[in-house]
């Protein structure tokens, strides 16, 4: 609908808004957004590549290995740069990713916006048994991830 802002309740409910709702339901969660000057398919080729590109733009992630994929349901093992491991389960489909383990939440969304793509990230360490994330340093980490994501997309576009 022309003239509707992304925060307008009458605006279409895309994956970015869905991620805002999910992050808003988790106490302490932070959400960062950015517009990447590339089409959605190019941006999601980086964001959705958990085994290849994810560890290149997520500052604290060293490696992710997919264990199982059944449609859009996935299960993966992640290892952080600090040696921590997580057994993640969730949903991965074009424009949307929500993964969680006992101690970790990862949320990513992307939506086409003309020739550019709006992207959003949330995530952090979970407190077991509670809908809460430890917020310390999360915003800075997410900002760095979006900056690195934009550079990964740009680098892949170069001949």
Sequential pLDDT tens for the chain (159 residues)? 344 445 566 666 899 999 999 988 887 788 999 999 999 999 999 999 999 999 899 888 888 999 999 999 999 999 988 888 999 999 999 999 999 998 888 999 999 999 999 999 998 777 666 655 555 456 788 888 999 999 999 998 876
| The pLDDT value given to residue 87 | 96
Using CA atoms, how far residue 150 sits from 18, 19, 36, 38, 57, in Å, is 22, 19, 6, 9, 9
Q: Which domains does the chain have, with CATH numbers?
A: 15-157 (3.30.530.20)
> Beta strand 104-113 with 116-125: parallel, antiparallel or unpaired?
antiparallel
Q: How far apart are CA 65 and CA 9, in angstroms?
A: 38
Coil, strand, or helix at residue 88? strand
| The pLDDT value given to residue 148 | 92
The DSSP secondary-structure symbol of 1 reads: -
Rg over CA atoms, the chain: 15
């Amino acid at each position: 609908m022309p003239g509707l802002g992304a925060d307008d309740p009458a605006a279409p409910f895309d994956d970015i808004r869905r991620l805002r709702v999910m992050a808003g339901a988790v106490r302490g969660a932070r959400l960062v957004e950015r517009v990447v000057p590339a089409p959605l398919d190019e941006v999601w080729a980086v964001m959705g590549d958990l085994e290849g590109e994810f560890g290149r733009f997520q500052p604290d992630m060293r490696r992710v290995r997919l264990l199982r994929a059944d449609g859009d349901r996935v299960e993966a093992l992640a290892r952080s740069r600090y040696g921590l491991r997580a057994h993640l389960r969730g949903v991965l489909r074009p424009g949307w990713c929500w993964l969680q383990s006992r101690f970790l939440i990862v949320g990513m969304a992307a939506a086409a916006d003309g020739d550019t793509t709006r992207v959003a990230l949330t995530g952090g360490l979970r407190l077991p048994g509670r809908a809460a994330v430890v917020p310390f340093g999360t915003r800075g980490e997410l900002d760095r991830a979006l900056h690195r994501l934009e550079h990964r997309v740009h680098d892949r576009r170069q001949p």
